[in-house]
């Protein structure tokens, strides 16, 4: 999620190896509630994801494209106005006015402040910027059935920290080994004589951000590592597509309209040409 985004730093964290193909990283397919044409965001999951983001991710990353008032939008986090104001008062009580340059109290219409601590990227569009699934020969067949896989990539990266493989025992490579991160440093000791990598993933500069029990969920959900990763991945998908439900509804309405229109045109055409077809030529 948040730290998953230190992708840019990872490439310089250690010994550079051959470019890693998409298939050499392990990405777990998660059945998120918002997937598919009829899927929708789970407000409770988004609220938990926001809690994880604010507790862990916001220390380094921002979501500058989201306004505080969006936390109350239907189909999203769905916080009441009072809760949004309480959240602002606790975490972002003051901001700088863009016109006057003077500090003032933060309003619900203001946006989350950017945070580029340690060069960490903004996460506003991260769930759309990273593809977790790739098709053979770049055809995108997996994406046709599973989607782009941005949230899955975030989940997999957050849960993908492992002990380095045995082939790297003698390596002095820096960073953390992650089976879902494809573009980081890679030790020469883990490349076989044919130039193939002997272990998936690579080394990433970002240390493991989530350990499990990082937060105490307000709704009582057990805060396992997997649960936290899934919740914050879903939240970052909402951050990237806050109007997803509205778009799906508009798309479905358009499809139904076209179906009805096609039926009406068919019967209209049939009625108009019926006298002509009955003529005896």
119 vs 118 pLDDT, higher one: 119
Query: Which whole number is the average pLDDT over 193-203?
Result: 93
Specify whether 228 is located in the same domain as 152: yes
Residue 146: per-residue pLDDT = 63
Rounded Cα gap, residues 253 and 18, in angstroms: 48
Q: Read off the pLDDT of residues 142-163 as tens digits, 9 standing for 90 and up.
A: 655 566 789 999 999 999 999 9
- For CA atoms 186, 224, 120, 76, give the dihedral sign: positive
Same domain for 232 and 249: no
Domain membership flag for residue 91 = no
Strand partners, 168: none
Residue 116 is predicted with a pLDDT of 64
Residues of the chain above pLDDT 70, percent: 85
Range of the domain at 58: 3-66+112-242
- DSSP E strand boundaries for the chain: 94-96, 103-105, 176-178, 202-204
Q: H or E stretch including 84?
A: helix 81-91
125 and 252 part of one domain = no
Across the range 182-190, mean pLDDT stands at 92
Mean pLDDT of the chain: 86
Residues in a beta bridge with 105: 94
pLDDT tens digits for 64-111? 999 999 999 999 999 999 999 999 999 999 999 989 999 999 999 999
What's the rounded Cα separation, in Å, for the pair 205 and 8? 9
Angle at CA of residue 223, ends 215 and 2, nearest 5° = 60
In sequence order, what E strands does 138-189 have?
176-178
Distances from the Cα of 128 to the Cα of 10, 131, 151, 169, angstroms: 20, 7, 8, 35
Same structural domain for residues 25 and 46? yes
One domain, residues 123 and 235: yes
> Alpha-carbon distance 66 to 93, whole Å?
16
Same domain, 12 and 26: yes
In a domain, 105, yes or no: no
One domain for residues 145 and 255: no
Q: Residues 129, 213, 27, 6: what is their CA dihedral angle, to the nearest 10 degrees?
A: 40
- What's the mean pLDDT in 257-273? 93
């Amino acid at each position: 999620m948040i730290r998953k985004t230190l992708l840019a730093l990872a490439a310089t964290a250690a010994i550079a190896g051959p470019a890693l193909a998409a298939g050499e990283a392990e990405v777990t397919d998660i059945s998120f509630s918002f997937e598919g044409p009829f899927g929708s965001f789970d407000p409770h999951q988004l609220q938990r994801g926001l809690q994880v983001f604010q507790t862990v991710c916001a220390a380094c990353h921002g979501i500058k494209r989201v306004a505080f008032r969006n936390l109350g939008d239907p189909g999203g986090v769905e916080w009441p106005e009072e809760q949004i104001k309480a959240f602002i008062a606790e975490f972002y009580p003051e901001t700088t006015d863009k016109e006057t340059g003077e500090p003032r109290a933060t309003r619900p219409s203001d946006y989350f402040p950017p945070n580029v601590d340690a060069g960490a990227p903004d996460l506003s569009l991260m769930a759309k910027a990273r593809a977790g699934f790739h098709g053979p020969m770049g055809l995108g067949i997996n994406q046709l059935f599973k989607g782009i896989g941005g949230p899955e990539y975030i989940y997999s990266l957050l849960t993908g920290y492992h002990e380095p493989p045995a082939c790297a025992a003698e390596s002095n490579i820096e960073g953390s080994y992650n089976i879902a991160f494809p573009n980081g440093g890679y030790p020469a000791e883990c490349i076989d004589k044919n130039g193939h990598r002997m272990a998936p993933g690579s080394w990433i500069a970002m240390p493991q951000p989530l350990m499990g029990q990082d937060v105490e969920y307000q709704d009582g959900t057990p805060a396992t590592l997997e649960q936290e990763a899934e919740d914050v991945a879903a939240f970052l998908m909402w951050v990237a597509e806050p109007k997803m439900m509205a778009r799906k509804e508009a798309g479905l309405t358009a499809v139904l309209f076209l179906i009805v229109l096609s039926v009406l045109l068919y019967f209209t055409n049939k009625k108009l040409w019926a006298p002509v077809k009955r003529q005896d030529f």
